[in-house]
Amino acid sequence: MDHKKECRIYTLTEKAFGGFISGSHVYPESELDLYYDFHGFYLLPIESDGKWGLMNGATDEIVVPLQFDYTETLFDDYIAGHAVKNGLHGYINAQGQTVVPFAYEDAKDQPSSNGYFAVKRGKWGVINGKNEPILHFVYDRIDLDGCFDLTAGWFTFYGGISAIQDGQVTLFDRYGEILEDHLTAHPRGYSTNPSRYGEYMILQRKRKFGVICRDGRLITNVTMLKREAVRLIQKLEGAC
């Protein structure tokens, strides 16, 4: 008879509940707690005796053995997920193999859609899957596939990389090339239809403004008045 071990399971709804492990199978306290995890391929974090691994929420099978200090949920559209081993951060794939070495003091939860990873060595930088630098380690904050406004407290989709250094924002395209730097505010979404999530964002450098598309294409440099930037978005959306 297999030895049974108590465990904790962490779901997509950020709820943690108990269960036990027997062999490679997890027996949750209640299958109802895993209801939302049946509808897609997700590997859920599972912890027992201080060691973490990943399980398939639909089959209750352990797919990544419990050998880490910590693991994040691994989604089917990401090539790897964040994990911690021996106190250091890295990334693993769905088979538990190391994608980015466990050599960093911190790491973002998920990589970008382009296979970039934001990691920290005193300052934040970005590497690719070969552990080669894409952005140097000089930034106070980095967001992959999005922008985060520290003053407003919101996160918005952007199909590139945004970075903060000394209070100023730099926007990169999906290949790590600078689009605009020394921005004095985070990009702000704008749409002619308040009920719709607009495709464009307004950029600002002091009293000058520009427009960028959420997919990471620069529409115009930051050389315009604000009303001109708004007017351009209205034209792009066909509102005038």
- Does 21 reside within a domain? yes
Question: What is the model's pLDDT at position 39?
Answer: 53
CB 12 within 8 A of CB 51: no
Say which range, 51-55, 92-96, 151-155, has the weakest mean pLDDT.
Answer: 151-155
CB 163 within 8 A of CB 172: yes
Whether residue 40 is predicted with pLDDT greater than 60 in this model: the reply is: no
- Does 163 reside within a domain? no
Mean pLDDT, rounded, for 205-221: 96
Nearest Cα residue to 177 out of 134, 227, 132 = 134
The model's pLDDT over 13-37, given as tens digits with 9 standing for 90+, comes to 778 889 999 999 999 887 666 655 5
Question: What is the model's pLDDT at position 59?
Answer: 86
Q: Supply 172's token pair.
A: 């990169």
The whole domain housing 19 covers: 1-94
pLDDT tier, 186 (very low <50, low <70, confident <90, very high otherwise): very high
- Does 38 reside within a domain? yes
- Does 127 reside within a domain? no
- Does 55 reside within a domain? yes
Q: What pTM was estimated for this model as a whole? A: 0.87
The model's pLDDT over 79-95, given as tens digits with 9 standing for 90+, comes to 899 999 999 999 999 99
Phi, psi of 88 (to 5 degrees): -115, 150
Domain count, the chain: 1
d(CA 177, CA 1): 58
d(CA 84, CA 69): 5
- As a whole-number percent, the residues of the chain with pLDDT over 70 amount to 93
Nearest Cα residue to 128 out of 138, 143, 139, 118 = 118
Bridge partner residues of 200 (DSSP): 190, 213
- Does 43 reside within a domain? yes
Phi, psi of 116 (to 5 degrees): -100, 155
- Does 4 reside within a domain? yes
Mean pLDDT, rounded, for 68-75: 94
- Does 2 reside within a domain? yes
Q: Supply 185's token pair.
A: 């505010």
Bridge partner residues of 150 (DSSP): none
Whether residue 2 is predicted with pLDDT greater than 70 in this model: the reply is: no
Report helix, strand or coil for 166.
coil
Question: What is the model's pLDDT at position 55?
Answer: 92
Question: What is the radius of gyration, based on Cα positions, of the chain?
Answer: 21
d(CA 151, CA 190): 18
